[in-house]
Chains A and B, each alone.
Chain A
Amino acid sequence: MNRALVALASCALGCGALVGCATTRAVGTHGALQHRACTDEAPMLRPEPAPTPPRRLLAAVTEAKPRELLVYDLDERRVLWRRPLDADHRPELLGDLVVTTAGGLALGFDATSGAPRLRMPLPKPQLVAAARQGTRVFLVTRAEASGDETTSSSLTALDLEQGRVAWSRELREACSGLQLAQGQVLTLIAHRDLLAFDAVSGEETGCTRLAKPGRSADWLRMTDTGLLYGSRNVHALQGEGTLELPAPAPAAPTLHSADDFEVSASRSAHGRVALLASLRADGAHGPRLAGDTVFFVFYRALVGYAGDGALRFVRVFDADVARAEPSPFGLDVVLESGVLWHVENDGSARSVGTLGARVGSASLPAGAPPVASAEPPTAAEPLERALTELALDPDTRLLPVRELAVDALSAMSEPRATCDLLEVHRARTSPASLRARSAERLRTRSIGLDCLVSALDQHADFLSGTPAPALAAIVPALVAQREARAVPALVEHLFDPATDAADLPLLVDALAALGGTGAREPLAQFLALYRNDSALADQPETLRLLARVLGPESSDGAAEASAAIQPLVPATVASPPAVHDATARKPLAATSLADERAFPKLTAPRHLPRTPPADEGAPFWSLSKQRASANAPAPTSPPWWLDQNPLFLSVEPPPAAAHRAPAPTPTDPSLVPADHAPEKEDAWWTPVQSETPDAGPDAR
């Protein structure tokens, strides 16, 4: 009676033109289903033969407005039909039927002609999965929890011949995945249990607990050899084996992406990040790879791994991957640009068609052999080159996989990979995190250091637009590998004014570590140059580090300051004449930097003595006589009496204005500054032109 009333009510409401009002089963059995008992015993299941489509087809929803549903013939490489449809769910290919949803309705179209064949209201708002067995189509729909309502699902069987709902089961849990096996319909409940229903009657036939310690169930796949399930790893329903996918893919996607999402028909993130592999159940041995490659899709990037986790190839497309389907032969790819590719397991690829429209979502036949093509596949680029190009790709969405590329480069045994890491670090398109990662990885490289050493030959050049090299990345790597060949170049960068002040401590440390005794002179010279200068006022740590490296202060700091100028003097310049300097150079002790006792003491800056120079040690009166000789010039500043008169040693020189002494008599041009103009000034002192020895100041 109740069922009859329900049926009448359904008819009265008008439940769709093509699907007549049908009986629903198990409405009153909700309570019993909540307390099912699931066993750990896995039933033996053989797959149902998959519906053979009349031809190999692809179904897609276009992205541009007005959106369309189209079906493409992969063998004939042409669009079979298209119709305007603002679809909600990604179209599913079920044999000769294309199923999608729109406006709360489940819609089915003939795959070859596009003729409508199915139209019914969705039992629940979201279509999660669809499958087909013969003349029956099975749908899993779901309503998410809201307010007081918990998540609920519906498993519905549609009879295409009779045009009615054959049966329907309501479930108070989240239901995901849908596979068919031996006349049974299998679905996942709450990522935990495998629930089986009779395909004909809809009666529940069993429940198996899948989720166990170390196992989770986010997806189901029925293969020719058995049922597989899992999350990131793969488990077989029969057997204890687990296939752990070794691919170190970032963002840790699940294999085959979880089945419990409604896949939008329009462009979405679903499937743009995916880990894909063709699998098979190998009886007691557990799951295996059917092909020999695990594919990692990350928007435009495709990375292929061998079963042992070795990186096999990298390929970057010019558009995001809308859908990819693995097979033992490789991977079939539909790009958002509408171009179709088949990628072999070794990474070679060829285009197998184009839809002529941008695609939001698509469905491909699963596990099908590749489409025949006269066009030979394009081989994948050499791995080192492909990784570098991926790392240099300016697409910021690809950052996780760019970092993966940097990690992979650092592990390569080719010396060229070191240069590639440096190129990534220097690239303007590299964000800060990638630069930091490449610098960190450079430190682990022990081969290919030649390019790091030669990179130091680069200096900033305004005319050519050359920037300074990336010392922050290069120097630590060279220090880590004790690359002493870099010392001369490091010295040049230490004295290069274009070197970033923040890199100076790095250079000092590096020279201390690599340079040995040969680095002491330039370091001491650098310290002498800047210890009183404002140039490093903002970088006091550099000078402190220098002082620490060079050791305790010496007793003669001038010796360090007057050290030979090393590689800065070009070979074409002749050696300068000997310098008449009271602080004569002393040879530096040939000791190691570690020997602090040998380090010269650095003193405060010295100034010239106020006593007469050593070579002019005569008493002042005879000195004045010398200066008063016929050809002697008058000193311009300070006045001679302040320098020479021993009675006034404490007298400070008068203000600068008074130091303007009379202009010198230009008897010897070499003694007069080139542009010195005679100053006209009345001075009480004039040169004494006398030929007889003067008795001294008393004679005045």
Chain B
Amino acid sequence: MTRALGLVVVALLALSGPARGLDPSQDAVEQARAAPRRVGVAKLIALLREGQADAVTDRALALLAEIGAREGREVLILYTHHRRTQARALAYRALGRTNDPALGVVVARGLRDGAAEVRAASAHALSDLGAKQATSVLLQALASGVAEAAPAIGRLGDLTSLAAFDEQLGKVPLSVMLSGYEAFLAREDLGDAAKLRIVARLEEVGGAVTHDFMVQLARRPEAKLSPVVRQALAASAARIAPRGTTTPAKALDDGTVRP
């Protein structure tokens, strides 16, 4: 009975007509997704080497990024030279997900790309790779207007990089700098001393945006901040009067700030 019911269902599905919207290549991407990892990666690599339509190429690259397959690095490197911006960006992101630090040099090349989207993808990828050796070129990219380089520097940079990062204050938009400082402050390997210097630096900058940033960061429970740093953030925020208020915000004992 069960078998008969299954056959009926299958027959009904067969009679429902052809599915729409999937060409054979896209189907192949889906098959690769469904296949065991090794087979799927091989299928994706073969697809990309053969050259596909835009949508298929992009989906294949995105899937390689999901999988984080090191086996695909050759074809991904090839696609970092693709003439389509989207394809290059996806290729760099996929390289970043391979967790192969040796690819840092290759991925850093994307910071020199003519397309902003690719530069952004390269910065993210360097951060994903943990490519600490790329900090200097990330600083150069930040000075040239690559906003995504800031959080990448924050995740990868050392104290020397932090000092170089500080020098960009006033030259780079504050919101960009804050994204980098946030990444620095979230580092577990960065000592409190360095983080307190960041807080002091931000207090020098002042302003409503900085105030809001410090308040929100201090409040965020998931932020990896020690109590000392959290307290310092709150205190500094209290000392920075937000624009439009007549009294400075009051720092509370628990490290939060009452506006």
Contacts and interface: CB of A to CB of B under 8 A. Distances in A.
Interface of A: 460-464, 495-498, 501, 525, 527-536, 558, 561-562, 565, 568-570, 572-574, 576-577, 579-583, 605-608, 610, 613, 615, 635-638, 641, 645, 648, 650-656, 659, 661, 670-671, 673-676, 697-698, 700
A615 B54 CA distance: 30
Interface string B86-106: 011000000001000011011
Given A648-B10, A700-B2, A562 B50 contact: yes
A530 B39 CA distance: 25
Interface string B56-68: 0100000000111
A528 B50 contact: yes
Interface of B: 2-3, 6, 10, 13-14, 16-22, 24-25, 27-28, 30-39, 42-43, 45-47, 49-54, 57, 66-68, 70-75, 77-78, 81-84, 87-88, 97, 102-103, 105-106, 111-114, 119, 137, 140-141, 144
A579 B72 CA distance: 9
A526 B46 CA distance: 15
Contacts of B71: 576-577, 579
A570 B54 CA distance: 26
Given A573-B73, A573-B102, A651-B14, 10 more contacts: A532-B52, A533-B82, A533-B83, A570-B106, A572-B105, A583-B46, A608-B27, A608-B28, A608-B43, A656-B19
A496 B81 contact: yes
Chain B contact surface mostly: helix
Contacts of A671: 36-37
B14 A461 contact: no
Contacts of A572: 102, 105
Given A570-B105, A573-B103, A576-B74, A608 B47 contact: yes
A542 to B, nearest CB: 10
B84 A535 contact: yes
Contacts of B81: 495-497, 568
A605 B13 contact: no
Contacts of B57: 533
A638 B34 contact: yes
B3 A697 contact: yes
Contacts of A573: 73-74, 77, 102-103, 106
Nearest to A459: B112
A580 B69 CA distance: 14
A565 B78 contact: yes
Given A565-B74, A573-B77, A608 B32 contact: yes
B83 A652 contact: no
6 contacts: A530-B51, A565-B74, A568-B77, A635-B34, A656-B21, A673-B66
A607 B23 CA distance: 10
Contacts of B25: 605, 607
B70 to A, nearest CB: 8
B82 A605 contact: no
A562 B46 contact: yes
Contacts of B49: 528, 561-562
Contacts of B39: 580, 613, 615
Nearest to B110: A462
A635 B32 CA distance: 11
A496 B102 CA distance: 22
A615 B9 CA distance: 30
A463 B34 contact: no
- Among the interface residues B51, B53, B74, B141, which one has the most CB atoms of the partner chain A within 10 A? B51
A76 B53 CA distance: 83
Nearest to A673: B66
Nearest to A492: B81
